[in-house]
Structure 1
Amino acid sequence: MIDSQSVKWGNHRSLNGFDGNKKVKGIKRHIVVDKNGFLLSIMVTVANVYDGKAVELFMRTLSYFLCPVKVILADGGYRRDIIEAVKKKNGILLRSSCVRTK
């Protein structure tokens, strides 16, 4: 599973972004866990980084370190164009809760 969380962060000197959807100034934590909830990978960005941009780097990292990953479950932040790009570039099926399959 893959997901992200925007959180308020630190002082005025540190790097911060603004997540317009959540109305949070700070950072965004992106995580991937396996079916048992064990952490596979984590990435921290400024809050204004869109999930679709972060997933590109994530997939390269996962394909480099964890070859057996074939299917990743995601929330609605990962749209149809992102799903197609991940499948085409990495061969990993990204299943989003907002996309219905027949």
Structure 2
Amino acid sequence: MKHPLTKENVAIERSKKIAASLRQMRKKSSGMDMSPPSAGKPRKPGESTASRNNRIIERFKQLQAQKEINPRKIRGQLAREFDLSRQYIERVLKPYLLSVAARIRR
């Protein structure tokens, strides 16, 4: 059931539409509405989040093995490649890095 058309509800709906159009304009001006290359898509159709996270970890291992990439910039590189935030990349990598550190300590 829709909300009754009161002045307040109309104003709220109008502000939501304005906010959505502003977000869309920002995306277009920054070039973010263009789809990333196929290798950089966050998830392939039918792919689970776990398998995408495994792809992120595998790519992290590859970038770590390459000496020409600064280790401090690997997370940013992964964020760009997978079109995800650096915070999300760190959240995915943290359990892997902790397990590696635990293996080293043994």
Which of the pair is proportionally richer in strand? 1
- Give the TM-score normalised by structure 1: 0.32
Which of the pair is proportionally richer in helix? 2
- Give the TM-score normalised by structure 2: 0.31
Larger Rg: 2
